Amino acid sequence: MRSFRLPLLLIAIGVVAVGFVVSQLLVPRSTVTVPDVGGTYIEGVAGAPQYINPLLCQLHDEDRDLCSLVFVGLTRLNETGEVVPELASSWEISADGITYTFKLRQDARWQDGQPITADDVLFTTRLLQNPDYPGRPDISALWQSVTVIKVDASTVQFQLTQPLAPFLDFTTIGLLPQHVLSGTSSANLNQLPFNLQPVGNGPWRVAEVNTSNSRVAAIALEPNNNYYGPKPKLSRLVFRYYPNAQAVFEALRAGDIDGMGNLPLSLVKRAEAIPNLTIYSATKSRYAALFINLRPDSGAIALADKSVRLALIHALDREQLVRDVLGGQGVVANTPFIPGTWAYDAGVTSYPYDPERAVQYLRSAGYELATVAPSNISVWQKNGEPIAFTLLTQDDLTRRTLAEAVARQWRDLGVQVSVQPVRNLVRDFLSPRQFQVALVESLVDGDPDPYPIWHRSQIVPPGQNYTGFDNADASEWLEKARLTSDRATRFEYYRRFQALFAEEMPAIPLYYPTYQYAISTRVKRVQIPPLVYPSDRLRTISEWYVNVKQILASEATAQPQ
């Protein structure tokens, strides 16, 4: 019998071991769902791109969307409008604010694997400096005043003629590859096949371009494996182009696309009724205001009186305008600086809707209500002259409706206002200074420097000080803010300017418009930051995903989320 004991023991141990393994297999294992790489996001866009070229894309949002993904510059703007490193690992500014020295990242590559060097920086800036440059004239004018020096293969230096704090904004422009475009002239930039078949240096590369009837119908992007930054989770990003916003919306409703940017106010309610769709909202880097012509020859003498201007803003229920006319798609503004940016003063004076206070301002300025024949309407007058003017607005539905609503509120106060829609507000009326009051939407393009619009030197055309605002203190602060790169010092000058602006009211701030972005719920981890440009809605796209996978809960802590 002894001879059977060892085999029996081994058999018993084996049975126990197998039982243990089986029992473990039968125990439920906790799993979690995590993002997985792969999948496609399709976005519909009204219009069609022409130039996937960082030197030419500033004028059209369809171009800028693509350039923001395919190209990067020495620097970039973050969510608060600050300039932060991109291709440049660091930079130094000389004590006199004249010389900027940039060091390039050592791991930066073009999508074809070639290194990005100082030669690419020189090549790009020389194209910008050429008088034949076909892009924005203001960009070229700035670069023509800058001397560019190659210190070594990874170091470049810019020398300005005088200090200019907003200069760093211009270093956000994407670079072009010298090794691909060597010999290209600036005048021919807008004629290159490169503009739809670019070699970029950003997180995405152009994989496919589909055309229909000589018009771009769709562009597909894929991750650029030579980009040094985070790799996108999506494996493909497709932009489909439609003739107008209504056509994009119909494609969204039919499920042909996953997302639609710049959703018009007229379509927001209908979009909210689409199942499995999320509508995101972000503040644009713009402000809408009523610009007032302060010149004595404007034909509206009363507007030169500060008390009248303060009465006009108190007579406006701006909250109601945003709610009823804009459908809530805006935030009431008190200053020409954008909330959330470093230059914005949250403590600036605000003017609530207060008709009684408006009346007090008018009475204190010597105005009295009088009945005007033959309409028998009561109008504020002084020395027989009524407060009367024309309000100009761009001829589109939203702005016409808004201007009429503003005019009604002012008429309720006792001010004579007529609304005139026009086709080209800037060219035909603001630039020649032929207006009394105008509804204007202004872009705060990167650096918040308001010098071009409010400095006294810009009163004479072609300057953009359309209102004729001529204040020595304001102009001095704007000058000094341009001459220093110290953020705290600049903020103090801008704080003073905002306080004085609120006191003098050369323009009546109305609202900061918001941007509506509709995206299918199948797309996860979407976050829309504040927008300097509409393309900034794609700023976090490397984190978006549509694919998921199941992993053990114990492994989840090791997964990047």
8 in a structural domain: no
Whether 3 maps to a domain, the answer reads no
pTM of the shown model: 0.86
3-class DSSP state for residue 455? coil
Residues 398-455 have pLDDT tens digits of 999 999 999 999 999 999 999 999 999 999 999 999 999 999 999 997 899 999 999 9
- Cα 91 from Cα 100, distance rounded (Å): 7
Residue 240 lies in a domain: yes
- pLDDT, tens digit (0-9, with 9 covering 90-100), for 327-381: 999 999 999 999 988 999 999 999 999 999 999 999 999 999 998 777 788 999 9
User: In this structure, are 41 and 181 located in the same domain?
Assistant: no
- Alpha helices in 171-258, H assignment, sequence order: 178-181, 245-254
Q: Would you say residue 105 lies in a domain?
A: yes
Residue 82 and residue 62 share a domain:
no
Q: For residue 401, give the H/E element and its range.
A: helix 397-413
CA distance 441 to 422: 14
Amino acid at 274: I
Question: What number of CA atoms fall less than 13 Å from residue 210's CA on the CB side?
Answer: 10
Beta-ladder partners of 284: 531
> Could you tell me if 394 and 475 lie in one domain?
yes
For position 232, which CATH number holds? Answer: 3.40.190.10
Pairing of strands 388-394, 437-443: parallel
The verdict on 290 and 270 lying in the same domain is no
Checking if the pLDDT of 7 tops 90, the result is no
List the one residue out of 210, 206, 218 whose CA is nearest residue 71.
Answer: 206
Confidence of residue 21 (pLDDT cuts 50, 70, 90): very low
Whether 195 is covered by a domain: the verdict is no
Statement to judge: residues 178 and 262 lie in one domain: no
Residue 132 lies in a domain: yes
Residue % of the chain over a pLDDT of 90: 84
Same domain, 333 and 473: yes
Q: What is the CATH number of the domain that holds 447?
A: 3.10.105.10
Considering the domain architecture, whether residues 256 and 297 belong to the same structural domain is answered as no
Interval 26-84: pLDDT, tens = 555 688 888 999 999 999 999 999 999 999 999 899 999 999 999 999 999 988 788 99
Which helix (H) or strand (E) segment holds residue 370: the answer is strand 368-372
Cβ atoms of residues 417 and 380 within 8 Å: no
Q: Note whether 318 and 458 are same-domain residues.
A: yes
User: What percent of the chain has a predicted confidence (pLDDT) above 70?
Assistant: 94
**More confident position, 529 or 64:** 64
| In a shared domain, residues 326 and 445 | yes
Q: Residue 217: which pLDDT band, with cuts at 50, 70 and 90?
A: very high
Neighbours of 307 (CB within 10 A): 18
**How far is residue 173's CA from residue 58's CA, in Å, rounded to a whole number?**
9
Residue type, 393: T
Whether 345 is covered by a domain: the verdict is: yes
Rounded to the nearest integer, the mean pLDDT of the chain is 92
Select the more confidently predicted residue: 282 or 238: 238
- The tokens for 409 are 């509120």
> Left (φ > 0), alpha (ψ -120 to 50) or beta: where does 521 sit?
alpha
Banded pLDDT at 464 (limits 50, 70, 90): very high
Domain boundary residue, one of 476, 494, 513:
513
- How far is CA 447 from each of CA 200, 286, 342, 511, 539, rounded to the nearest angstrom? 25, 12, 10, 20, 18
Same domain, 405 and 304: yes
Confidence tier at 19 by pLDDT (50, 70, 90): low
pLDDT of residue 11: 52
CATH assignment at residue 156: 3.90.76.10
Q: What is the pLDDT of residue 62?
A: 96
DSSP secondary structure string, 474-516?
HHHHHHHHHH---HHHHHHHHHHHHHHHHHH-SEEEEEEEEEE
Confidence (pLDDT) at 184: 96
Question: pLDDT tier at 530 (50, 70, 90 boundaries)?
Answer: confident
Residue 13 above 90 pLDDT?
no
Same domain, 495 and 561: no
Whether pLDDT at 503 is above 60: yes
Q: Calculate mean pLDDT across residues 112-130.
A: 98
When pLDDT is averaged across residues 214-224 and rounded to a whole number, the result is 96
Asked, for residue 454, whether it belongs to a domain, the answer is: yes
From CA 514, how far away is CA 554, in angstroms rounded? 42
The number of distinct structural domains making up the chain is 3
**411 and 448 within one domain:** yes
Enclosing domain of residue 506: 286-513
Task: For the chain, give the longest Cα–Cα distance.
Answer: 132
Joined together, the tokens standing for residue 87 give 């291709």
The rounded Cα 87 to chain-centroid distance in angstroms is 21
Q: How confident is the model at residue 498 (pLDDT cuts 50, 70, 90)?
A: very high
Q: Residue 495's pLDDT band (boundaries 50, 70, 90)? A: very high
